[in-house]
A and B are shown apart, each in its own frame.
Chain A
């Protein structure tokens, strides 16, 4: 036993409560401790993950009560993969954030607490096996998100945060309504228990609960008409937080919607619905992205589009589809943060943060620019970077399910994507610098974090087999609903007997 999944929540919480006290001792600890915590959790996650791949899913019962009575955490090949990915990114983002901007002590203390909690919330969403507990974690994540969006004291960040908050409140309302409907029918909140009893629900309750879940989690997962908050929040939050949103937070949103559709309910038509919504999200987001003149906003729309693509891949519903979706998620989780992080330095000193201001920066910030360009090539799915394999998996999965039209549409949209990313790259490298805004050189820690992401993107591009076996394990784990129920509920059954 290397450790227990509960530590993924307990340790950051402990750290978050400790950080204010540390601030009284030595202010630098406020910055350092989160990094140590994240690093520790990353190591723990990797070792647990290895263990899980060998010995099977770990189900942690909290308070000593077996599911369905107690809350449980499920560390499976699927959730473990996501957790590891999130922690890796969180650590990278921490590394980058360390001295990203020299804000006062008070805000920076809050920044690191909130960042830690943003990550913890996301991980909690992924790990928990209890539907109400997931709601709690969603709230932890959201509140951290609201606060971090409004972190900069400028005018527009509060606006973005307020929109996020309105949508987030609606989201929690719908989630609660769904939970109410389920509870009224089944008297249980445990996901595995719900999954095993879902057939006992009256059909109209089940469908209504599903609809509420889709609306509620669709807001977090940025499905099309529900994602109005996302571009604002992504673009107004500090750069590393934009990276965290696109790399970590939205992944948790997608996870929750997937868990509901794949495990909780077995409602006919859900998969086609995911494809439909994913497609609409993808198309609209890319349409909006192409005309943006703010760099982070463009990245935000692109992020939304990618999430649409992920949903489409999940909606294919086959093992290949899930595999592709996970591949897309991993790729996006590596590339989009890289784009956000590098873009943040490219527009560091400007107030407008417009694409125009990237003109000619290739000369002044060569490595940062290169990493941005690398990210751009990877995100549009051009070989030989990681994005290509993700897209390839997605397209072949679609082809194997005879979704030819989907392939065509996805590729058509990809063309749009290429156009706007290459426009930006063009500006960075081939335009003359106009403004007098002095570009800021990234700090060493920021550089290291970006380079690590860059290396991973290239490595996976050249050698995708590095991760594919894990993705396969994960997708099998997600699809095997019976095993999930068995894993979670077996302990409780033995108690009854």
Chain B
């Protein structure tokens, strides 16, 4: 039962990833791409947490957290760049 739920969840997430990827490629503005990337980051962080559960490895949560931090600051950098301030 739980296994099925997790499979289904992964399915949803894969769809979300596909949508984000499509937006990354489609654009049209840089902000759209970065937004999609940001979405992708959040999905990935969630995915990592879920995988940590699947593999039963607590330590993977750290990876997810750090990934989130790096993704967040990455978006800020690009946003600042898009503003023309860098």
Direct contact between the two chains A and B in their complex (CB within 8 A): no
Query: Contact residues of A with B, CB < 8 Å?
Result: none
Query: Contact residues of B with A, CB < 8 Å?
Result: none
